[in-house]
Amino acid sequence: MAELIRLDNISKSYGDNEVLDELTLTVEENQFVTLLGPSGCGKTTTLRIIGGFEKPDQGRVYFDGKDITDLPPNMRPLNTVFQNYALFPHMTVGENIAFGLKVSGKSDQYIKDKVKYALKLVNLKGFENRKITQLSGGQQQRIAMARAIVNEPKVLLLDEPLGALDLKLRQEMQYELVRLKKELGITFIYVTHDQEEALTMSDKVVVMNDGYIQQEGTPEQIYNEPENAFVADFIGDSNIIPGRMVEDRLVEIKGVKFPCIDGTENGFRPGQRVDVVIRPEDIEIRPYGEGLFNGTITSKLFIGVHYEMLVKQEGGKFEWLLQNYDEHQVGSEIGMYVRPENIQIMHKPQSDDEKRMNLEI
């Protein structure tokens, strides 16, 4: 895929608050890219700079190879869907969708055809004459999408558009957004703090914190191969533990030696202090004495499809987080095993900048 958008060394501050620090990002044509991170990480500011609603203090914004840094929003080939939808309550559904087309001077027949097409695309055929106040939150979200779609933008910017919806409706709309992206063949840039949304919908996830990009990649890469402790902790549940490389492909964690697949070829040397990530679903429960180490279950919660347990490691105070489909009773003594491919080794941060891009453990 060809590069469509490039942010080149973008910095942005509000007074003494530095929101973005020399951020560089590329978005390819027809990608679904999600900017993911906690509140205040800079993701919405990044989206607003792409949309032209904010101007960077330094750096340039390129669209299809052309510098658009100084172009106003209405001159950019993109549309934005905001969290509050920004619909006009005094207009009908059809009038809301048609608003941008009327401003552009399109003919009445063209507008009528495009409104019908857009409503069919968002599964609200026949809603032209409804009032906005008669619609549910999910229907209003679809109308906001339809209003953006009729303008045929090359890029659709979405700023946490599902944040006001309940869980079930939010999940339904995730599938709708993916379907729309495939049918329309346009590029989506989506902002959220919800990890499930990012992993469900995206071709590419950009994890942000403190004005930096922590990691970018496919949902599988972000989840299975986090590059630092912040990403590992923010994306899903994790056991993040200090460790020490014993030798090639062998790491010691809390007094237990674990075979792993990382070693000298990945830049890890014997004796090196490292951070280790083990996902709770990757810890296998075995009979006592038949795993790599033993422990006692100290608490148990049922989380819908699985049980979540804390297990105190035998001979120490450390508690492991486990997730398992089978029920085990509190107080049970168990063995635990982790396959080498499920152990993720990470370098500890060395510089102040690296520490800023990591999570204190």
pLDDT of 293 > 90? The answer is: yes
Rounded Cα–Cα distance for residues 32 and 38 (Å): 20
Are 59 and 149 found together in one domain? yes
Q: Are 20 and 12 in contact (CB under 8 A)?
A: yes
Are 245 and 329 found together in one domain? yes
DSSP 78: E
- 203 located within any domain: yes
Structural domain of 285: 238-356
Are 215 and 267 found together in one domain? no
Are 78 and 209 found together in one domain? yes
pLDDT in tens, 164-204: 677 777 888 888 888 888 888 889 999 999 998 999 999 99
- 65 located within any domain: yes
Are 209 and 259 found together in one domain? no
Q: Which residues contact 200 (CB under 8 A, 6 or more apart)?
A: 174, 178, 219
Distance, C-alpha 163 to centroid of its chain: 14
Structural domain tally of the chain? 2
Are 129 and 255 found together in one domain? no
pLDDT in tens, 294-349: 999 999 999 988 999 999 999 988 999 999 999 999 999 999 999 999 999 998 87
Are 205 and 269 found together in one domain? no
Integer CA distances (angstroms), 172 to 31, 163, 214, 310, in order:
20, 13, 29, 33
CATH number at residue 202: 3.40.50.300
Q: The sheet that has 204-209: what strands, in order across it?
A: 78-81, 155-159, 187-192, 32-36, 204-209, 212-217
- 158 located within any domain: yes
- 230 located within any domain: no
Rounded Cα–Cα distance for residues 157 and 250 (Å): 45
Residue type (1 letter), 236: G
> Rg for the chain (alpha carbons), in Å?
24
Are 254 and 159 found together in one domain? no
Domain boundary among 172, 198, 224: 224
pLDDT of 361 > 70? The answer is: no
Are 203 and 292 found together in one domain? no
Q: Are 256 and 275 in contact (CB under 8 A)?
A: no
**b/e sequence 258-287, b meaning 16+ C-beta within 10 Å:** bebebbeeeebeeeeebbbbbbbbbbbbee
Tokens of 185: 């063949």
pTM: 0.85
